Each structure stands twice: as structure tokens, then as C-alpha cells.
Chain A
Amino acid sequence: MKVSIEVNGRPVAEEVPDRTLLVHFLRDTAGLTGTNIGCDTTSCGACTVLLDGESVKSCTVLAAQADGHAVTTVEGLSSSDGELHPVQRAFREQHGLQCGFCTPGMIMASVSLLADNPKPSRDEVRAGLEGNLCRCTGYHNIVSAVIDASGQEVGE
């Protein structure tokens, strides 16, 4: 079927098999490989993107379901002049990433979390990111990054 999705502000329209997952549409059709695939059970959150501003796991959304909607991926967060999004900046500043594989999903989930709760506590960040797995950081610095991005002081 023909699927048209606005990806990071750019319209992408292509004929794809009906069963095409949104994550494969983004990676293979739109050519945006920043969104990673970490599992096949919607457990890890590596593929998290924003669909009309709400975070979704793009491995369990059909491209067809996103037809006519807007998707934001990690590539769409920085401003056009390359200035980092506050969440991107905070992940770097707080060492909230190591191997980087969970990072796009973790960043998008954090953007969504902060949209809902602009000044979260550390426990609220942990609860909000429960659906995003990271094997490297032990989560400590990811929590710090979200606190930092929210404009709150990060303790030691």
C-alpha cells in the first residue's frame, strides 16, 4: 500500500508491503537509521519515536497506522543549524550513554517524559523510562541526564 508519513518535517511517501513496520519504514524507506531495533517483543524501547508528539515503540506500529501522521526521530531533534536539543546535550554532558544503541529511543522517551512532566524527580524519571532498557549505564547517568535537561540541579 501507499504510505505517506511526515518524518522530521519532510514528507515521505512510498509503496510498501502491508505488513511493513514503522521502524522499517523509517530505516529502509526514509533512510533514517538512527532508530534502532533491540528486540521483537516491544520490551526494550530502542525503537522509540514520537508519533504526533507521543512516544511509541516503532517496532509495534505498522507503517500503515502512521499513514498521514507526523513522526519525529532522533535525527529530527537538533535544530537546522545543528544545535543540540536540550535532552541530547544533557545525555552528552551527564555521560548518559555508553555504547549508544539504546540512546535514540532513550532520548525520545525522555523528550516525551519531560513534555508530560517538566520537572520530574529522579524516581519519576526511573518510572517513566521503565520501558526503555540500557545494558551499559546502570541507568544512573540517564536519570541524571533527564534531570539536567529539565533544568534541575544534578546531585553527585
Chain B
Amino acid sequence: MSIVGTRVVRQEDQNLITAGGTYVDDLREEALSGAAHAVFVRSPVAHARIESIDVSEAKAAPGVLGVFTAADLGLDPHDAGPVKEPWLAGEVVRYVGEPVALVLTEERYQLADAAELVDIDYDPLGAVASIDAALADETLLYPETGSNVMQVNGTKEFDDGIFADCDVVVTTTIVNQRVAPAPLEVRGASCAWGEDGRLTVWLSTQNAQIARTQLAMSLGVGEDKVRVIAPDVGGGFGAKIGADPEATVLGWAAKEIGRPVRWVESRSENLTSMTHGRAQQNTVTIGGKRDGTVLAYRLDVIQDAGAYPRTLFLPTLTELMAVGVYRFPKVETRSRGVVTNTTPIAAYRGAGRPEATAALERAMDRFAGELGLDPAEVRRVNFIRPEEFPYQTPTGASYDTGEYAAALDKALETAGYAELRAEQKRRREAGDPIELGLGIAAYVEITGGDSGGESGRVDIHPDGSVVAWTGSSPHGQGLGTSLAMLLSDQLGVPLEKITVRHGDTDEVPKAVGTFGSRSLQLGGSAIRQAADEVIAQARDLAADLLEAAPDDLELDAERGVWQVRGAPSSSVLSWAQVASAAEGKLSADVWFGGGKPTFPFGAHLAVVEVDTETGKVDLRRIVAVDDAGPIVNPLTFRGQRHGGLGQGAAQALMEVVTYDEDGNPTTATLADYSFITAVELPDFELVDMATPTDRNLLGVKGIGEAATIGSTPAVHNAVVDALSERGVKHLDMPTTPIRVWTALEAAGKENEQ
């Protein structure tokens, strides 16, 4: 029986559970002995001109090895969308947390003392701390551009005519709030220049190779002069793609002081200086017929890009995925990306797609509410049908495969939807202050959306062992085990003889790495392709050894032996024997470049109880159907969904990054930021579905982000549904007690009038 599709515990776990793994700050490499410790002095103000920087006192502090500012660096600033971002701010600071100086000391505990002594004089410029303030264009972050709007995309002028035939039209503005990725391991990097003139950077990253290229460019050296190693990485969620600016400064400083440098940020730095996610304001207009058929949909996106617009692809990706699982005849989308004096925004689990789904699924509920129809029914009427695939959306996406109605039916059936609605009704009739709310989200997302490829290499050694190198860069997903399972299945080699390696640019020079849920579909396909080539090499060798024609040879993948077809009694060759006959070893190093984006989908149902007297929301159940094609390892497949559900629900229920009107962060510690705990989440109820795609060698789609995308609107819709009978039509996330209570008060007053 094939190992693929069976529950396999992870090969990655042993070191993590016995020795706590080896993250950047755990490294005790010889090359890092005597390393200086590093801390960045960061701006305490949101927007100011730097009048002066005096480092003399800091330089004289105990243990200080160097204090550096923008004036010392002499590195060209890097592009952030249409503007430039300095490595260290020298003239203007644009967000609280922006790095201004670097302090290096002998001992870790000397850092804070010395950093205190760096004297920086700021002349405040007035802060742009919200999307509204940005659009007002009164204070500009980049006066030379003339506006805080950095990018406009999509429909030039909206046409209200698309809603002309509609019986009902509903418009809602939805805040998709800023959240913090907050991986448990904060950012860290260690740098050492070798005597050979090469820089080695150990970096907590999702993409060692991209980081290598970035660092070589920024430091002005050849790519061959930089080696990046991703050791164990304690979560990334999109916020550890490539190298952050700090890594360049550290690499520069290590050369400057002639010693290795090690840096790990504090959690407060992480919550203000690592990129944030989401931060959109979306206005949706939806119109259609009384039977629930949607005729037209408009999505108007405003992306808060933060102080440096590093990732303006996010709002356009939101536009691309605007129509989700529905066949809407008329669609308009537009997006604007604006800058504010806040932490830069970048990818966060879902990266543009959750925002599209959240807007759309709130719109569907608002539309159903206006019509007095069940939200499940309205969705069924509008789903793209299985026979319509491949489906070209009006916004330009080409969906591969989908069974959207089946996914919703499964979710509702598992949850006992009809009974839950009956319970909701019973409570309402009894005047129960604890309302029951049901929230539906049907979603489709795009994985491997970058359309890039990935590298894979497979070696078979004369002892019969297999070593594979993947360009993907797993950091918790368990991809190594999944790839080993695929190889075991394909080659007939037991798991314990297979090693999967990744994350070192000297071992894997060419790769993209991990983001956008691309790893299994692209990295997995590359490994499949490499193993195919190794099998082809082995076939010829085995044919020579057995004195048979290559076409007559077959690999018995059950036993892992080569034999002549139709002559099972004849001699067989083990992988060890075939590999021994090769010169050195069997080896194939490939680039899988044929990967097109795939479109995983699903349906979630959330059940909440809302205490209408206190506003407290209790997430009771979440039933999730997530279809990402054939499942390699159900254990890790489910693990990815669990994590996604937790993070998605967290956004709906509690998490939000906030600033005051002067741009001061007010959620800069884990005591202030409402990171979700075990107490606020229920056990998850998962239902499997597996609709394959034809767009890669494995038929798989990505599962890393899918559950995040469905769960946020499902939980959000559930909270609004609980309050709907009391007159609440919408409230923004997170649905904290004060917001729920305030919404109920406002609706109550409106009802009285």
C-alpha cells in the first residue's frame, strides 16, 4: 500500500522536542565565536525630521564596539514601491520603530545601556496615522510625489449602470484591520565574513535564496560572495519573506568592525518593526434579484501600505480574487495603495486573498439579509458550477477545478445547520440573552500565484540511501516529511533512508522558497521531476546490469527493486546495486518551471454565542471543509488547517494593531496585543474533500493559507448573525465585547426611534 495519503508523524520533530530546535539565536558555530551583539536604535516618533544625531556618549559606554548611523553606511537606499527606503533613517523618520542607528557591544546586556545614550533630536512633522488622514493629503510622507496615494489600479471610473437591473443594492464599508504576524520566534540574524571574503548570514527567513540575492545587491558584492543559511525558523506567516533591511545593515557592520555580529530583536521591536498584515478598507456594493441572484458586484479597495509601500501587490491580488466562488455577470474593482506613518505592510497568511473573501462574504450576508433569505441559499444560487471549469473570472483569474456547492453542503450537513437554525429561533423566542449566531464563508483562493518555479534535486547513494534538496523552505509545515513520503512512494525506498535538506544557498543555489502556499505544488513537483530523471538513469544502468532492454525494465515501487518485466523469477537489483554501478551516484538536479497557480477552495461554518448583556463572543464551533486536492500526509494537512483556523478566527474575534492619532503604537507588547490563546478557540471539526488539479505533476493545491481565508469571514458573519434580530447589520472586526455592546446599544436606540 502506498504511504502517500497515510498519517505519518513528522521526521522534523525529534530535535525540536528534545533540544528545542536550533534557531538563529541558538547558534554556537565556531564562525560566530566572539560575535558582537547588536541592537537597533529605533524612532520613538511617527514622523519627524532628524535634526541631529550624537553618538559620542554611546561610543564611550562600556563594551561598545561601534555605533553607526545612515551617514556611516554609504549604501544606496532600496526601492519600496515608487519611493526609496533607507537602510537606516538619516533625514526623516516615517514610523515608530524605524531603525535609525545600530549599536554593537561585547556583551548582550550592554546593548540597552549603550542604546539609551544615542542622542537623536527629532523635529516632528505631523503624523498620518490612518487611511482617512492619508487620503486627505494634508501631510505628505513623500512631498516630492505630491500625494500619499502610491498606486491606483483597476476601473478608472465606476459605472452605476451595472446595478440598473437590480431589485436590491447594498453598500457596506468593511475595515479589514491591521494585524501582527507575530511568529513566536522574532526576527534574528547572525553575520560572519570569512577570510575568503565571503559573507555568511544565518537568517530567520522563508527564502534563503531570495535573501542571498537581496543582500548581495544591497552590499554591492557578487551573489557568489554571500551565503545565506536558514536554520530552524520559528514561524514566518509571510512576514519573513527574503531579508528585512536590518540584515543588510548587520552584514555591512560585521565587515566594518571586522568581527561577526549577532542580532535578535525584542518582541516590542517585532510588534512595531516587523511588517504587519491586512490593513485594508473595502467598500463593497452588491446588487441582484429578489430570488438571490447577484447581477453586479463592485469592490473598492484602499490598502494602507504603512510608511514604506514595500508590497503593493496586495491590493491588486485582492482585486484579482474579488468574485470568489460566484458567477457574477458584472464586476468592477479598483484599488488604491496609500502610505501612512505606521509600520510597513506586507504579506501575512493569505496576503490579499483573505481581504477579498472577507469583503465578499460580508457582502453576500448583507445581500441575503436585505432579501430576507437564508445566507446558504443565496450562496447556492450564485456558485460557479462544476461543469463551468476551467473558469475565467471577470477579474482575470483562471480557476482550475472546484466543487463549491458540494463543499458548502458538506459543511452544513456536518454542522447540523437546520437544527442550529432551530436552536437560534428557540432562543430568540424565549428571549434568551445569549444569542446563537451562525456564520458561513465559502471561499476560493490562489496558491503558487507567483507562477514561478522551484528547484529539486535527488541523489541516490551506493548504500541505497536517498538525499533530496528542495528549494522550498519549510519552517513548521512539515514539508520535509511530505517530500520524503512522495519519494518513498515513487522509489520504493523506506522513509528512514530518505533525508530532505533545504535552506542553505551553498547546497541549493537556485530556489524561490516558501510563500503563497506554493511549496507542495511546486517544490513537490520539482522533487517528483528529479526522481523521474533518477529513475530514467537507473533504468539504463539496470538494463546493462541485467542484460535486458531498458524498455523491459521496471521499478517495483513496493519493494524498491528493479526487475525485468514479466520475469519476476529472474534476478532483481536493489537501489544500492544500481547506484553502485553509477559513477559516484545517481543524481538529478531539476527546475520545475511548469507550475501554474491553483485554486483551493472550501466552506466554513462558525457557531458563536454572544452574551448580549456584556458583548462577549464565545466561538463554540467551527466546521471546515478545505479542498486542496489529493492529500499527501493527513496529519500535517490537518495541522495546516488548524493553524489557519486559529489565526483566521483570531482576526475576527480579537486581534488588532492600533495607533493613536499621533501614530504611537498602542499594541507594542504581547501584554497589549490580543494574541489568541487556547482558551478562546474550540476544537476544530474538519471535513476532508479532495478535488485534484491538472496544473502540476502531483495534482495538488496549497493548504498553508486556505483555512485562514475561510475562517475570518465565517466567524465574523456568525457574530453579526447573532445580533441580526436586534437590528445590527454590520460591525467591524475584531468583534470585541466593547464593539458588540456598542453596536447593540446603537441598534437599540435606532429601534426605539
- Interface residue ranges, A against B (CB under 8 Å): 17, 19-20, 24, 27-28, 31, 33-44, 46, 73-75, 77-78, 84, 88, 91-93, 95, 97-104, 107, 122, 125-127, 129-143
Give min CB distance, B203 to chain A, whole Å: 15
- CB-defined contacts of B16 to chain A, threshold 8 Å: 97, 100, 103
Interchain CA distance A99-B647 in the complex, whole Å = 15
- How many chain B residues have a CB neighbour from A under 8 Å? 56
A88:B17 contact, CB within 8 angstroms: yes
Question: With A41-B671, A135-B235 in contact, do A141 and B642 touch (Cβ < 8 Å)?
Answer: yes
A92:B17 contact, CB within 8 angstroms: yes
Number of A-B residue pairs with CB-CB distance less than 8 Å in the complex they form: 183
A38:B267 contact, CB within 8 angstroms: yes
A130:B679 contact, CB within 8 angstroms: yes
- CB-defined contacts of B186 to chain A, threshold 8 Å: 38
Residue B20 at the A interface, CB < 8 A? yes
Partner of B675, one of A36, A43, A122: A43
Partner of A101, one of B19, B23, B478: B23
A39:B17 contact, CB within 8 angstroms: no
B681:A139 contact, CB within 8 angstroms: yes
Closest to B685 in A: A156
Question: With A130-B677, A135-B183 in contact, do A98 and B639 touch (Cβ < 8 Å)?
Answer: yes
Interchain CA distance A37-B678 in the complex, whole Å = 19
Residue B10 at the A interface, CB < 8 A? yes
Question: With A19-B109, A98-B476, A133-B675 in contact, do A40 and B267 touch (Cβ < 8 Å)?
Answer: yes
Interchain CA distance A26-B347 in the complex, whole Å = 35
A99:B19 contact, CB within 8 angstroms: no
A44:B670 contact, CB within 8 angstroms: yes
A-B pairs with lowest CB-CB distance, top 9: A34-B20, A138-B646, A101-B234, A99-B476, A100-B16, A43-B670, A98-B476, A33-B26, A39-B267
Q: Mark B214-245, 1 if CB is under 8 A from A, else 0.
A: 00000000000000000011110100000000
Partner of B109, one of A17, A44, A99: A17
Residue B748 at the A interface, CB < 8 A? no
B235:A101 contact, CB within 8 angstroms: yes
Interchain CA distance A67-B18 in the complex, whole Å = 25
Residue B321 at the A interface, CB < 8 A? no
A100:B20 contact, CB within 8 angstroms: yes
B234:A41 contact, CB within 8 angstroms: no
Q: List 25 A-B contacts (CB under 8 A).
A: A34-B18, A34-B19, A36-B185, A40-B267, A40-B669, A43-B669, A44-B267, A44-B675, A46-B184, A75-B19, A95-B639, A99-B475, A100-B12, A100-B476, A101-B235, A102-B184, A127-B678, A129-B678, A130-B679, A133-B184, A134-B184, A138-B646, A139-B642, A139-B677, A141-B642
Closest to B270 in A: A39
Closest to B264 in A: A37
Partner of B21, one of A17, A40, A92, A100: A100
Interchain CA distance A142-B679 in the complex, whole Å = 12
Give min CB distance, A113 to chain B, whole Å: 11
Interchain CA distance A139-B675 in the complex, whole Å = 13
Residue B64 at the A interface, CB < 8 A? no
- CB-defined contacts of A132 to chain B, threshold 8 Å: 678
Give min CB distance, B82 to chain A, whole Å: 33
Residue B683 at the A interface, CB < 8 A? yes
Closest to A74 in B: B20
- CB-defined contacts of A92 to chain B, threshold 8 Å: 9-10, 13-14, 17
Known A-B contacts: A27-B26, A136-B643. Give 4 more (CB < 8 A). Answer: A36-B185, A98-B477, A127-B678, A135-B184
Give min CB distance, B414 to chain A, whole Å: 12
- Interface residue ranges, B against A (CB under 8 Å): 9-10, 12-14, 16-23, 25-26, 28, 108-109, 182-186, 232-235, 237, 264, 266-268, 475-478, 635-636, 638-639, 642-647, 669-671, 675, 677-679, 681, 683-684
Give min CB distance, B222 to chain A, whole Å: 32
Partner of B13, one of A41, A74, A97: A97
B643:A41 contact, CB within 8 angstroms: no
- CB-defined contacts of B642 to chain A, threshold 8 Å: 137-141
| Most chain A C-beta atoms within 10 Å of own C-beta, residue among B268, B635, B639, B671 | B639
- CB-defined contacts of A103 to chain B, threshold 8 Å: 16-17, 20-21
Closest to A128 in B: B678
Interchain CA distance A41-B267 in the complex, whole Å = 9
- CB-defined contacts of B14 to chain A, threshold 8 Å: 92
A142:B678 contact, CB within 8 angstroms: yes
A93:B643 contact, CB within 8 angstroms: no
Question: With A43-B670, A137-B639 in contact, do A95 and B677 touch (Cβ < 8 Å)?
Answer: no
Partner of B20, one of A17, A36, A44, A135: A36
Interchain CA distance A39-B645 in the complex, whole Å = 23
Question: With A88-B18, A138-B642 in contact, do A99 and B235 touch (Cβ < 8 Å)?
Answer: yes
Closest to B110 in A: A17
A24:B683 contact, CB within 8 angstroms: no
- CB-defined contacts of A133 to chain B, threshold 8 Å: 184, 670, 675, 677
- CB-defined contacts of B182 to chain A, threshold 8 Å: 135
| Most chain A C-beta atoms within 10 Å of own C-beta, residue among B13, B22, B23, B109 | B13
A101:B184 contact, CB within 8 angstroms: yes
A75:B184 contact, CB within 8 angstroms: no
Closest to A17 in B: B109
Interchain CA distance A114-B12 in the complex, whole Å = 25
Give min CB distance, A112 to chain B, whole Å: 15
Question: With A92-B10, A136-B235, A143-B683 in contact, do A78 and B18 touch (Cβ < 8 Å)?
Answer: yes
Question: With A97-B17, A126-B678 in contact, do A140 and B683 touch (Cβ < 8 Å)?
Answer: yes
B678:A143 contact, CB within 8 angstroms: yes
Interchain CA distance A130-B678 in the complex, whole Å = 6
Interchain CA distance A21-B237 in the complex, whole Å = 30
Closest to A103 in B: B16
- CB-defined contacts of B233 to chain A, threshold 8 Å: 99
- CB-defined contacts of A42 to chain B, threshold 8 Å: 671
Question: With A140-B684, A141-B639 in contact, do A33 and B28 touch (Cβ < 8 Å)?
Answer: yes
| Most chain A C-beta atoms within 10 Å of own C-beta, residue among B13, B14, B184 | B184
- CB-defined contacts of A97 to chain B, threshold 8 Å: 13, 16-17
A91:B185 contact, CB within 8 angstroms: no
